[in-house]
């Protein structure tokens, strides 16, 4: 589903009227404004396989112990088989296990690191003599989804119909002639979210799911 198709579906379902405007007008801008918040909310609901990158490039290893994470990273993956890796200049790989930030000081030897804010800190500083010096830092991570800007942009949500329903719920809530439809849209959005999580978990059964609460959610 493209951004333009999203606008058309939201307006048709929320108002019952076909969208006759032009992408970039007030109505489409309103839909995109809603979509920014909803897409961000969706990204936090689970470890989505579609947002997983096994090795985000975070620069070159220098003589320090702390490196800035790439801005695309929302969460560093801590799945059992994921390691922060350094692609060394000799072609070999060094694996580093991620640990909670408060525990990093306990690891005086071995290869360990922790996320601290927007940085990745290693348990020991690299030096110019370190085998990893000059290598490329690769971080397994779940990245931020892109927001919709252009009419041809693709909706990044696994099931775009969830985004349609979630936006419609917000669209109608302040319209006294449409507000009675809000709970129906919320119920639909909840069902679609549960289905997305189930499908996501079926693809990688090591992902820990956060169950939905039984009441309707407003996302």
Does the pLDDT value for residue 210 go beyond 70? Answer: no
- The CA–CA distances, whole Å, from 99 to 83, 88, 104 equal 11, 22, 6
For the ranges 57-66, 72-81, 210-219, the lowest mean pLDDT is seen at 210-219
Q: How far apart are CA 66 and CA 88, in angstroms?
A: 17
Residues 36 and 56 in one domain: no
Residues 23 and 98 in one domain: no
* Phi, psi for residue 218 in degrees, rounded to 5: -100, -5
216 lies in a domain? no
Nearest CA to 86 out of 65, 109, 72, 117 is that of 65
Instruction: Assess whether pLDDT exceeds 90 at residue 216.
Output: no
Total domains, the chain: 2
User: What pLDDT is stored for residue 174 in this prediction?
Assistant: 87
Are residues 37 and 118 located together in one domain of the fold? Answer: no
Q: Identify whether 128 is part of a domain.
A: yes
| 217 part of a folded domain | no
The answer to whether residue 213 sits within a structural domain is: no
Across the chain, mean pLDDT equals 93
* Residue 151 in domain: no
Reply yes or no on whether the pLDDT at 209 is more than 60: no
Task: Please report the pLDDT score of residue 203 as a whole number.
Answer: 67
Give the chain as a DSSP string: -BHHHHHHHHHHHHHSS---S-TTSHHHHHHHHHHHHHHHHHHTSS--GGGEEEEEEEEE--SSSEEEPPTTEEEE---TT--EEEE-TTS-EEEEEE--GGGGGG--SSSEEEEETTEEEESS---TTSTTTT-EEEEEEEEPPPPP-STTPBP-SSSHHHHHHHHHHHHHTT-TTTGGGHHHHHHHHHHHHHHHHHHHHHH-TTSPP-PPPSS----
Answer yes or no: is 30 within a domain.
yes
Predicted confidence (pLDDT) per residue in 28-75, tens digit: 999 999 999 999 999 999 999 999 999 999 999 999 999 999 999 999
- CA dihedral of 92, 115, 51, 39, whole degrees rounded to 10: -160
Judgement on whether residues 37 and 62 belong to the same structural domain of the protein: no
Is 219 inside any structural domain?
no
Q: Cβ-count burial of 9 within 10 angstroms (0-12 exposed, 13-18 middle, 19+ buried)?
A: buried
- What gap in Å lies between CA 217 and CA 5, rounded to an integer? 25
Q: Do 68 and 24 belong to one domain?
A: no
| Residues 18 and 62 occupy one common structural domain | no
Same domain, 125 and 64: yes
Confidence of residue 79 (pLDDT cuts 50, 70, 90): confident
In a domain, 92, yes or no: yes
Instruction: Answer yes or no: do 41 and 123 share one domain.
Output: no
Torsion of CA 83, 123, 110, 74, to 10 degrees: -10
Domain range spanning residue 175?
A: 3-48+158-203
Across 36-61, b (16+ Cβ under 10 Å) vs e yields eebbeebbebbbbeebbbebbebeeb
Q: Are residues 81 and 138 in the same domain?
A: yes
* 87 and 138 share one domain: yes
Confidence of residue 22 (pLDDT cuts 50, 70, 90): very high
Question: What confidence tier does 202 reach under pLDDT thresholds 50, 70, 90?
Answer: confident
pLDDT higher than 70, residue 213: no
125 and 163 assigned to the same domain: no
In this structure, the answer to whether residues 76 and 138 fall within a common structural domain is yes
Q: How confident is the model at residue 212 (pLDDT cuts 50, 70, 90)?
A: very low
């Amino acid at each position: 589903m493209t951004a333009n198709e999203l606008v058309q579906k939201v307006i048709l379902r929320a108002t019952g009227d076909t969208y006759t405007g032009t992408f970039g007008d007030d109505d489409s801008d309103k839909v995109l404004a809603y979509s920014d918040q909803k897409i961000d909310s969706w990204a936090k609901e689970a470890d989505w396989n579609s947002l997983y990158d096994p090795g985000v490039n975070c620069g070159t290893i220098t003589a320090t112990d702390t490196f800035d994470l790439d801005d695309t990273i929302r969460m560093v993956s801590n799945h059992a088989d994921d390691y922060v890796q350094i692609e060394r200049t000799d072609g070999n790989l060094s694996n580093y296990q991620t640990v909670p930030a408060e525990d990093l000081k306990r690891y005086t030897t071995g290869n360990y690191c922790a996320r601290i804010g927007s940085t990745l800190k290693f348990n020991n500083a690299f030096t110019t003599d370190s085998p990893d010096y000059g290598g490329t830092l690769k971080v397994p991570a779940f990245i931020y989804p892109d927001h919709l800007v252009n009419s041809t942009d693709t909706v990044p949500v696994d099931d775009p119909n969830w985004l349609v329903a979630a936006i419609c719920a917000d669209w109608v809530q302040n319209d006294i002639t449409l507000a009675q439809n809000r709970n129906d849209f919320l119920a639909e959005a909840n069902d679609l979210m549960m289905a997305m999580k189930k499908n996501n978990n079926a693809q990688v059964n090591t992902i820990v799911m956060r169950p939905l609460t039984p009441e309707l959610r407003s996302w």
